[in-house]
Structure 1
């Protein structure tokens, strides 16, 4: 009886989405109480957009909800990848939780994230030996592509982590990206990945209530941003490694799949590249903490957090639509030019908006 219920994708989606929303909504007040009771609040720093200590570790609710969902997903897990994902998420949770308690070194964080990616790559379905014509490249050594995929995953995780700077922004970007990924997997009838993406949207929507709250505010913390970032990377990696024949169901060209992924996460990617470029141009360490992110510029203009989340979340949708649409019309070489052009436009617009016009504002 239970197996029959959970084998129906529509029924499972309804159960998991509403269940995840309810579970996160239930757990967050408990986490707030625990953090306050043990005095684990995040103190505001030089770069903080807040003025008082605030509970963090909202990602603990994400982790619990995801593990329970992976148990329910076993009847529709066509790739049998649920166990790999659960193990990888556990490692990501550990390093994120540790970061929220006491900051980890970048080396330790990258090591744990890399091990998590390798656990996913241990699954045979997450390998591909061709670039499908991307910039004229086709058959390539498997090891080279796997190495590139590891770099892509680490980039997605950390780009998403960096965007988490004001209330609602990480959730808005996540909802934007997961909803697009859900549509992509709906097109090819990959039920496990559709429902996973929808569940993550439900969790982020439940979290938004508390992230915007004045009385019971909480941050997702590194625990949350690393988990959500890893799930984004996982879903993007599966998209990059699906059977080439399935791309016939999409309107975009197979060679442009990397540009589709870039579009899905355009704002985090553009923000990361822009900030690193500014730091390098000033002779600073690219990992130097500063207040030069896109959301900091909008904060300096006096915009409230919810407006910043709406603006950058909407911008992410807009860039995704543009890049996905053009991916059906243009070859990959032309798409590379379009991507560079869009990036330069975003950089120019936000430079113009920057009220201080200060290239790099480092912490003292």
Structure 2
């Protein structure tokens, strides 16, 4: 019965997305609300960027309706400590609404990064206010329980980092929605395993809407192949959703789920690719004395495109890497310490990026053209009668 409670909202999210997103596309084309084209952007055609407008209404409505029906009809016991868990979801919805409004304003008229950064800090503070914060590192860095005066700032920092990491990965068709969809699917199954049903419900609803959006973002409508971007409205709210789910899984709180030795590593495995990539990009900007928030083309998907991969191939490679990290880390925490798993992740990430740099350098080397070299040498042959 609990699985049915998850499957029905998941399917409804897909159907609502398939119904609502084409109407959003119709409005954006009629009102000509397109994503601007510039030298940094990969696309060279007019494409609207308001697809993320569909996410928050579907997430919040399906989540609220399902929870109310479960409690009113009382046909299944989800074993939830109401007063401990519900404030977290209430603050989640408040934060999503704030980011939703900010994202729409940014997609339509533009919002400076300073104002967006302030809004992100405000919504990040809502989670500790509801009682959700990282209170245990499970031996990571040889630290276990941490006091609230360290856990709350750490939580705020991670929420802001995750929101921006997801936002910056929205550079290829299907990349952001694919990464978040994989992350929500993995976290949803983990929450099901630990019988954290409401968290699993949120994860599967988000996965459902992202499946519909992925289709329209990558393939477009069936008639004219018109596609749509999610914009900051979608990427910021998805980042906030992922931050909520990962921190919920990481927190040592029996009202959410039982104690899990590798909770932090497992949870943040779903975010390794976007978080590691944004850390690498910010480090390069700092090293080259560039503005930390200035857009550039140093992200992982740009590097794969420079190697000659197509947009879809680069997207599939990155999503596959994220999925591999998730599966491998879930298995390794059973037999290895959290510190060793983290060191291995960092090592593999560095090796992967170094391999890309080596391949790119090899590709840029001028290749010897026998015919061209012979033609260049002919004048010398004639001059000196060789």
TM-score range, shorter chain: 0.7 to 0.9
Q: Conserved in 1, the CA contact under 8 Å of 2:14 and 2:212?
A: yes
Rg larger for:
2
List gaps (5 residues or longer) in structure 1: 1-7, 359-364
Q: Which residue is equivalent to 2:91?
A: 84
1:314-325 superposed matches below 5 A: 314-325=320-331
**Distance apart, 1:151 and its partner CA:** 0.9
Aligned to 2:192: 186
Within 5 A, what are the aligned runs for 1:1-364?
8-75=1-68, 78=80, 79-80=85-86, 81-124=88-131, 126-127=132-133, 129-214=135-220, 215-243=225-253, 250=260, 254=261, 256-354=262-360
Deviations for 1:301-320, whole angstroms, at most 9, x for unmatched residues? 33222222211100101122
Question: Equivalents in 1 of 2:119, 2:202: separation in Å?
Answer: 23
SS for the counterpart of 2:219 is coil
Match of 2:378 in 1: none
**TM-score, normalization: structure 2?**
0.83
Whether contact under 8 Å (1:168, 1:212) holds in the other structure is: yes
- 8 Å CA contact 1:187, 1:249 repeated in 2: no
Alignment check: 8 A CA contact 1:130 1:138 kept: yes
Q: Is the 8 A contact 1:260 1:323 kept in 2?
A: yes
TM-score, normalising length: structure 1: 0.88
SS for the counterpart of 1:165 is coil
Within 1, Cα distance between the matches of 2:119 and 2:193? Answer: 33
In structure 2, the gaps of 5 or more residues are: 71-77, 365-386
CA spacing shift, 1:343–1:315, aligned 2, 3 Å:
same
Q: Distance in 1 between matches of 2:255 and 2:15?
A: 38
- d(CA) in 1 for partners of 2:283, 2:165: 14
Write the distance in 2 (CA, Å) between the matches of 1:53 and 1:297: 24
- Paired residues in the alignment total 346
| Pairwise CA RMSD | 2.3
Say if 1:58 and 1:221, in contact at 8 Å, map to a contact too: yes
Rounded to whole Å, the distance in 1 between the matches of 2:176 and 2:120 is 19
Q: Note if contact 1:73-1:192 (Cα within 8 Å) is conserved in structure 2.
A: no
| Contact 1:42–1:56 (CA under 8 A) maintained in structure 2 | yes
